[in-house]
Amino acid sequence: MGETKIIDFESFAASKSASNSDMGEAGLHKRRCGESKKSWRRKVEAQRTKDAEWMRRRDAARSEYRAAVDSGAMRPLTRRERTERIASGHPDNPSVQAARRMLAKWNGHNAASSGAPR
């Protein structure tokens, strides 16, 4: 058996063209002035079709990911690995700052301490 690939579901889904960023359309939150109802309905229906296809791809990716995790070919990130990934972001981002504080706190404990995540 080969090495176990370490990947979270969102990264896996993005590799299968099922990223969360593909859902919805920011421009469809309201109808533009002068736009006919027929044109609006056409746009909404096209987006609904696109979103249904996205959901189908995402469900297929989720099933594939679960099967790979169950077989041992992949494993999800641990809490510490997720926190380290977040902490590597831009220092102005509040979530990055919080992740760095968490890592500093965890690294201050010894390995036998219950405060360090696994």
The pLDDT tens digits of the residues spanning 13-61 come to 999 988 888 788 877 777 778 888 898 899 889 999 999 999 999 999 9
Q: What is the pLDDT of residue 112?
A: 47
φ, ψ of residue 4 to 5 degrees: the values are -80, 130
In whole angstroms, give the CA distance from residue 51 to residue 44: 10
Tell which residue, 73, 103, 108, has the closest CA to residue 85.
103
Average pLDDT over residues 103-114: 71
66-83 pLDDT per residue, tens: 999 999 999 999 999 999
* pLDDT tops 80 at residue 12: yes
In whole angstroms, give the CA distance from residue 64 to residue 73: 11
pTM score > 0.85 for this model? no
Q: How confident is the model at residue 1 (pLDDT cuts 50, 70, 90)?
A: low
* pLDDT tops 60 at residue 113: no
The domain limits of the chain are 1-76, 78-118
Q: What is the pLDDT of residue 109?
A: 66
Tell which residue, 22, 21, 53, 59, has the closest CA to residue 45.
53
Q: What is the pLDDT of residue 28?
A: 79
